[in-house]
Structure 1
Amino acid sequence: MKKNKVVVLEERVPQLKQQRRQKANRRLVGYIVLFFMLILCIIYFQSPLSNIQSIEVKGNKHISDKEIIELSGLTNRTSFWKVKDEIIEKKMSSHPEIASAQLQKHFPNKIILLIKERKRVAYISDKQKFLPVLENGVVLTDVQGVVPNDAPILVNWKEGEDIQEMVAQLTELPSHVLNAISEIHHTPTKHDHYHLTVFMNDGYEVSATVRNFAKKMSLYPSIVSQLDRNVKGVIHLEVSNYFKAYPADNEKKEGDDNEEDTR
């Protein structure tokens, strides 16, 4: 019986052998690339290359970038991959003036700190310093060189229930009305412990009370729009709303003369 002849396919079809060799070469190249990528990753994670290179602070107005970064505890020696968002955000939010904080990571090594500050609704005049009063009623005492240019100054007020109620009223005011106020003096009377005198940036004076201050002061723009801007005086907002102009210079002089005559 005649034996069947074995045919070597690679010899008959050389292209199959070439394709197998190319496939093996590609697999080898893939393994080599993967090996070097692993080496590079190890070097990256174990070297300063993985540390934070840039920290940017956004949203802050009164707190300096430096202070916020110090609060976060982040430095250029901190590994980008070891930053715990929740822990850092909690650290920054411990500042009394920070309402909320958010951390964003941007590959390969940039950190952005997004800050939302609590609004300063007033400043307390304390000797030769101005202490910021936040929207939650907290008075910042550890501040230096504050210039009150974004909120009214509270004069003759003491920390306590009265000022807390005043702050609550200020937080309800529209920003354009709040920014129009220069000073708020606590001027209690025999009949109204909560009476106050307000000096406006446009030269008018307002006589009001704490209890309904926000509601009454919201009418201020419409009241002023009906007045002669060349005639200044007192806008009364206690019970009924009315305007009383300051005495003219000659009337004031006559009043002074009469007062002197009666002495």
Structure 2
Amino acid sequence: MHKRMSINLFVFGFITLVSLYFILPISRVKEVNVSGADNVTQEAIKKASGININDYMLQVYLGKGHSARLIKNNISEVKSTAFSLHDRSVNIRISKEKIVGYLLKNNKYYALNSEGHVSIVQRTAPEENLPVFSNFKTSSETKLLAKQMNKLSSSLLTGISEIDAVPVSVNPERIRVYMNDGNEIIATLSTFASKMQYYSQIKAKATGKIRIDFEVGAYSTELK
């Protein structure tokens, strides 16, 4: 009899404490902090995580794997996330994914990572002296573009100012490349990286600004 009463009291007390915990402010999120990213990306990560002020801390803890996937799937700048919960704070630390350039759409810039994923984060300008990509319409194009950019050396990647898709009937993968040094390149997207290994040699032989054609072979003409 006394044993049963003790068990009942314990269960009742436990339920009371749990109920009290969920009623008190200590059980809810007071702030969400993000580190390892710039201010624009931080705000996007907070929104993508699905974590809101006054959510239950226990709910956040149990759902942090889901939140990590939401961030990874929507923010191409993020490679991985690590969550820590302290008092009423949710702290999200991210490691950065390699960004190969920025897609230009409606006067906004969206990061393209090395895996071909496009960020939902809108920027008013590209970051880190990386190239801008214009007129790429489909996900297959952007994935192929990312694959080619990821094969370039860092000096070649940051040496590119802009790449425009300029398809023609005989070459739907035709691109025009503007270099920061003033030279221009016409190339085929799927062979671009392999052809760019000859860029420095061709450039060294030129006496002025040139246009290089990598579509068939590799030759240059004076840029007028």
Same fold (TM over 0.5): yes
> Any unmatched runs of 5+ in structure 2?
1-16
> Any unmatched runs of 5+ in structure 1?
1-41, 248-263
Bigger radius of gyration among the two: 1
Work out which structure has the larger RCO, using CA pairs closer than 8 Å and 6 or more positions apart in sequence.
2
Q: In 2 relative to 1, CA 191–115 (structure 1 residues): closer, same or farther, beyond 3 Å?
A: same
* Cα deviation code 1:121-156 (max 9, x no counterpart): 344444x4245262343445x665532344323334
Counterpart of 2:171 in 1: which secondary structure? coil
1:187–1:196 Cα contact (<8 Å) kept: yes
Counterpart of 1:216 in 2: which secondary structure? helix
- Per the TM alignment, residue 184 of structure 1 is displaced from its structure 2 partner at its CA by 1.6
The alignment status of 1:179 with 2:166, answered yes or no, reads no
2:49–2:71 Cα contact (<8 Å) kept: yes
Q: d(CA) in 1 for partners of 2:141 and 2:51? A: 41
- Per the TM alignment, residue 57 of structure 1 is displaced from its structure 2 partner at its CA by 1.0
> What is the RMSD computed on CA atoms of the aligned residues?
3.7
Number of aligned residue pairs? 201
User: TM-score when scaled to structure 1?
Assistant: 0.58
Equivalent position of 1:104 in the other structure: 84
Describe how 1:1-263 pairs up with structure 2 within 5 A: 47-48=24-25, 55-61=32-38, 63-74=40-51, 77=54, 83-84=61-62, 85-97=64-76, 98-105=78-85, 107-108=86-87, 110-126=89-105, 128-132=106-110, 134-135=112-113, 136-139=115-118, 144=122, 146-149=124-127, 150-159=129-138, 161-189=140-168, 191-221=170-200, 223-224=202-203, 226-227=204-205, 231-247=208-224
Identity of aligned residues (%): 25
Q: In 2 relative to 1, CA 145–67 (structure 1 residues): closer, same or farther, beyond 3 Å?
A: closer
- Per the TM alignment, residue 72 of structure 1 is displaced from its structure 2 partner at its CA by 3.3
1:61–1:117 Cα contact (<8 Å) kept: no
Counterpart of 2:65 in 1: which secondary structure? helix
- Per the TM alignment, residue 118 of structure 1 is displaced from its structure 2 partner at its CA by 4.6
Equivalent position of 1:18 in the other structure: none
2:45–2:75 Cα contact (<8 Å) kept: no
Structure (1 or 2) with the greater strand fraction: 2
* Cα deviation code 1:167-202 (max 9, x no counterpart): 321232233322221122333456433332211011
Q: In 2 relative to 1, CA 67–145 (structure 1 residues): closer, same or farther, beyond 3 Å?
A: closer
User: TM-score when scaled to structure 2?
Assistant: 0.66
2:111–2:121 Cα contact (<8 Å) kept: no
